[in-house]
Structures are given as structure tokens and as C-alpha cells.
Amino acid sequence: MAAPLASKAGCAGTNSKPPFPELDFRSGARVEELNKLIQEFTKHDQREYDDQRALEIHTAKDFIFSMLGMVQKLDQKLPVANEYLLLSGGVREGVVDIDLDELNVYARGTDYDMDFTLLVPALKLHDRNQPVTLDMRHSALCHSWLSLRLFDEGTISKWKDCCTIVDHINGATNYFFSPTKVADWFYDSISIVLSEIQKKPQRGMPKVEKVEKNGTIISIILGVGSSRMLYDIVPVVSFKGWPAVAQSWLMENHFWDGKITEEEVISGFYLVPACSYKGKKDNEWRLSFARSEVQLKKCISSSLMQAYQACKAIIIKLLSRPKAISPYHLRSMMLWACDRLPANYLAREDYAAHFLLGLIDDLQHCLVNKMCPNYFIPQCNMLEHLSEETVMLHARKLSSVRSDPAEHLRTAIEHVKAANRLTLELQRRGSTTSIPSPQSDGGDTNQPDDRLAKKLQQLVTENPGKSISVFINPDDVTRPHFRIDDKFF
């Protein structure tokens, strides 16, 4: 009996020693340190907004919506009662799948303080209760041409000048909605409206600091009070329902099953003005599932989102030249990881470091194999067009990150802190005076605006991750109607 007792005592003595700190095998970095660095990055990257900043955000949004109402009145092209999708983060942040090589470089802190993407339907197909079949005969996977034959004669007449024309042998003429011509029209119309607005400036009106056409995107930077806000405005085609090409995706098991309904996920999709690598820019649109992604985001744990944001900050800087990998690729990989891994594992609050390292490994794997399937249309490989030289160059860069993730996290933290310092410095200088809403005449009327700003802040707090849309009546642009999912405010 003595020997076993001695053995047990020895085991007890071994177990009483402090456990060895958990290390990342590849880099030797302490997982605890990586977790702390991710938390620090999150703290500096996600700032709290006070009432004044909330009011400035509302003022800029109000100005943009009013401007779009005036664009509709120019030639009645835009739908009368339109539904926009407002996303937090600019196009460069990967909130929609649009190529970044045509976009000018803007930097947070230097050029803007907050960024948003606004999807503005030029056309709507909202009366479909069956899977939507698109004309993909001329396009790569995940892309489509759009014939105006789907619309009435009035719509064809309005948009004829924004189409490419194809004459068939039988004498029929087909008008294909052109993303480049629509973007040109949109930019010209916005420029006309802004020119008219600036001829009669009102007290409290935001300062238009920049209006640029970036490929098929219109980027506007507004100065409002002490804030500068970037709006990337994207002309899109809006559909209710779900595309037939993505129908098989619904048959698979997904991480969001049982957490949100299928109806929420497949409520609608878009065509955005982006073509494939070998596509015809004047005709080809890209399928976008931005509305669905807003819903799916509700099912992703905060620790995984923190790791994603930190990883995104690293790769935006590191993989910027040549432009081959966008944050949207990383977003797709994160969604695939959510399908692949157990929910209780991904929900671990202390696993942000594991998730960051895993995302880097996933991205490197995708590059080496030149394979990144679109989450909604897996048969579409988003890296197929890249050269072997480009993917190996980026894979080697990622290898350096994987060898020292702590150092790259510290660099990302310094970048975001520097951006915040620039913002605070501009606020201290008082580069623009604090101003009320565009509708204010300078009296006490900013009191209701303050209440509205607080109401908006409350709505966002109480409805995290929900799809936020806006209905605009161009005959009453002073009253934006906010929709959070299916509720109106």
C-alpha cells in the first residue's frame, strides 16, 4: 500500500506547481499577452460617442438623405419611396465586396473620423416571391448582367441613357443596365445638387470637404461640428427574395440555424457595381448579400469579432500592395470558420488570441492554395484570378505576422492611437465650429434634434446588429423614417 500512496503524493506535488503559461507553438508568444493586446486594440478602435457626437452623426446622415431626396427630384430616376441600407464602416473596410484597386486611399484620423457605406437602390425588384433568376450567361460566377426587360416601359424610358444597347438578329433591342453609366449619372447628379445647396448655405449645414468618384463609388467627406464623416455611396439594384444561383446554400447546415430565421437571412440581396476580373465593366454587376451579412453578424461572438477587427487592421496595412486581398475576403473566411467550428468553442470570451491566430492561418492557407470560396456561392472562388507570384508574396508577408503576432498587434494599436490623436488634435484646434442640424435656423430648434440624437442612440443600443434601413419621401425630406428590421421610427 505504501508505494501507491507515495505515488499519489508525488502526483499531488506535481499538480501544485503553477501551470506553464499557454504559448502559441509557432511564435512562442504568450496567449495571455495576445489576448490583452487584442483587448487594448478594441478599446482604442471602438470609441464611445457622447451626445454631441451622436448629434453630429445624425446631422451628417440627415444631410446625406436630404441630398438624395433632391437627386430624385432632378430627373425622377430614383424610386420615389426608396429604401437604403446604411452600414457602419466604409467600402475600404470590406463591408461590401467591391474591388479596392480603383479607390483613393483615405486614412482615419488624417481624412475622416468615422466612415459609413450607404447602398442606394437605383432600381428595385421587390415583387418576387420565388427565387430570382438573373442573366448570368455572359458573366463569371457571382456576377450578372441586368436587362431592363424585367421592368415596365416607363422605367426603360427613364434609364435608357444609362444602358448599353444590344440589338438581336430578330430586330429586338435589349437594354442592359450599365454600372459604370449609372455611377457616372449618380456622381453628376450629386455634384449638381451639392452645387445648388452650397449656393444657398444654411446655418448649421455640414461642410462638404470632399466629393470624389472612386471607380463606381461616390465618396463624400462631411465636416460636422468637430467630426469628419466619410460616406461611401454605392448605387445598387435591390431585390427581395433570394437568387436561384445561391439556392443550394440554403440546403446546408449553418452556424446561424436556430438563432435567426431563414426569412431574416434571405429577405433580400443586391447587385453592386463591380465586375469580375475578365468581365465587361460596362455591363457586369456583382451579387452582394450585405443585408444577410447584417443578420449573420448578430450570431458571431464578441471575442471572434474582436479578433477579426484586429486581424483586419493588420492585413489592411500589410497586404495593401499589390491590392489583391481585401477585408471582405477575411470576412468570408470568418463566416466559413463559424460554420466549421463548434458554437461553444467560438463563444469562449478568453479565446480571442486563438481566433486571431486561426484567421491568419486560414488566410495564409487560402493564399497558398489560391482558393477563397464566396460564403453564399461556394462555387465562386474569389482568388481565382490572382497570379502565383502575388499569392506567394502575400503568403510570405503573412508568415512574418504569424512568426510575431504580438509585434504586429502593437503596431496596429499604435496606428489606431495615432489616428485618435489626430482626431483629438483637430477637435482641439476647432477646425469647424460646433453646429446644429441642417434644418436648424440657429434658434432653440436644436433642442428637438438633441432629443432625436438621443433617441437614435437608444435605438442602436437596444437593437444591436439589426438591419437598419431608411425610407425617404422626397416630397418631405425633413422627415427620414428609420426602419430597424420591420419596425419603423
Kindly report, residue by residue over 192-203, the tens digit of the pLDDT. Answer: 999 999 888 888
- Number of alpha carbons in the 13 Å side-chain half-sphere of residue 172: 7
pLDDT (0 to 100) of residue 440: 32
Mean of per-residue pLDDT scores for the chain: 84
Q: How far apart are CA 310 and CA 409, in angstroms?
A: 7
pLDDT at position 40? 96
Q: Give the domain CATH number at 204.
A: 3.30.460.90
| Lowest mean pLDDT, pick from 152-156, 220-224, 309-313, 434-438 | 434-438
Query: What's the pLDDT band for 382 if we cut at 50, 70, 90?
Result: very high
What average pLDDT does range 346-366 have in this prediction? 96
Number of domains in the chain: 1
Confidence of residue 447 (pLDDT cuts 50, 70, 90): very low
Please compute the mean of the pLDDT values over residues 247-257 and round it to a whole number. 94
pLDDT at residue number 458: 56
Q: For residue 483, tell me if it sits in a domain.
A: no
- Please give the share of the chain, as a percent, with pLDDT higher than 90: 62
Q: Is the pLDDT of residue 318 over 90?
A: no
Q: How confident is the model at residue 185 (pLDDT cuts 50, 70, 90)?
A: very high
In a domain? residue 25: no
CB 194 within 8 A of CB 70: no
- When mean pLDDT is compared over 3-12, 16-25, 54-63, 467-476, the highest value belongs to 54-63
| 443 vs 241: which has the higher pLDDT | 241
Within-domain flag for 106: yes
426: which residues sit within 8 A by CB, 6+ positions away?
Answer: 226, 228
In this prediction, residue 393 carries a pLDDT of 93
Which pLDDT value is given to residue 433?
Answer: 40
Query: How many Å apart are CA 378 and CA 141, to the nearest integer?
Result: 10
pLDDT at residue 255 tops 50: yes
455 part of a folded domain: no
pLDDT of residue 472: 44
In a domain, 273, yes or no: yes
Stretch among 223-227, 235-239, 301-305 having the lowest mean pLDDT: 223-227
pLDDT of 446 higher than 80? no
The answer on pLDDT for 50 being more than 50 is yes
Least Cα distance to 401 among 391, 389, 413, 409 occurs for 409
Q: For residue 449, is pLDDT > 70?
A: no
Q: How many Å apart are CA 420 and CA 109, to the nearest integer?
A: 6
Q: Are the CB atoms for 287 and 143 separated by under 8 Å?
A: yes
pLDDT of residue 49: 67
Look at residue 26 and tell me if it is in a domain. no
- Residue 320 banded pLDDT, cuts 50, 70, 90: confident
pLDDT score, position 51? 77
Higher local confidence (pLDDT), 9 or 143 = 143
> Three-state SS across the chain?
CHHHHHHHHHHHHHHCCCCCCCECCCCCCEHHHHHHHHHHHHHHHCCCCCHHHHHHHHHHHHHHHHHHHHHHHHHCCCCCCEEEEEEECCHHHCCCCCCCCCCCCCCECCCECEEEEEEEEEEEECCCCCCECCECCCCCCCEEECEHHHCCHHHHHHHHHHEEEEECCCCCEEEEECHHHHHHHHHHHHHHHHHHHHHCCCCCCCEEEEEEEECCEEEEEEEECCEEEEEEEEEEEEEECCEHHHHHHHHCCCCCECCECHHHHCCEEEEECCCCCCCCCCCCEEEECHHHHHHHHCCCCHHHHHHHHHHHHHHHHHCCCCCCCCHHHHHHHHHHHHHHCCHHHHCCCCCHHHHHHHHHHHHHHHHHCCCCECCCCCCCECCCCCCHHHHHHHHHHHHHHHHCHHHHHHHHHHHHHHHHHHHHHHHHHCCCCCCCCCCCCCCCCHHHHHHHHHHHHHHHHHCCCCCEEEEECHHHCCCCEEEECCEEC
CA distances from 362 to 311, 353, 356 (A): 11, 14, 10
* pLDDT at residue number 486: 45
Give dist(CA 436, CA 416) in Å, integer: 29
Enclosing domain of residue 234 = 32-425
pLDDT for residue 473: 42
Task: Grade residue 73 by pLDDT with cuts at 50, 70 and 90.
Answer: very high
Lookup: cell for 251: 440546403
The length of the chain is 489
Per-residue confidence (pLDDT) for residue 376, from 0 to 100: 97
Predicted confidence at residue 74, as pLDDT, reads: 93
Kindly report the number of other CB atoms within 10 A of residue 381's CB atom: 18
Give a yes or no: residue 457 inside a domain: no
Q: Is 49 domain-assigned?
A: yes
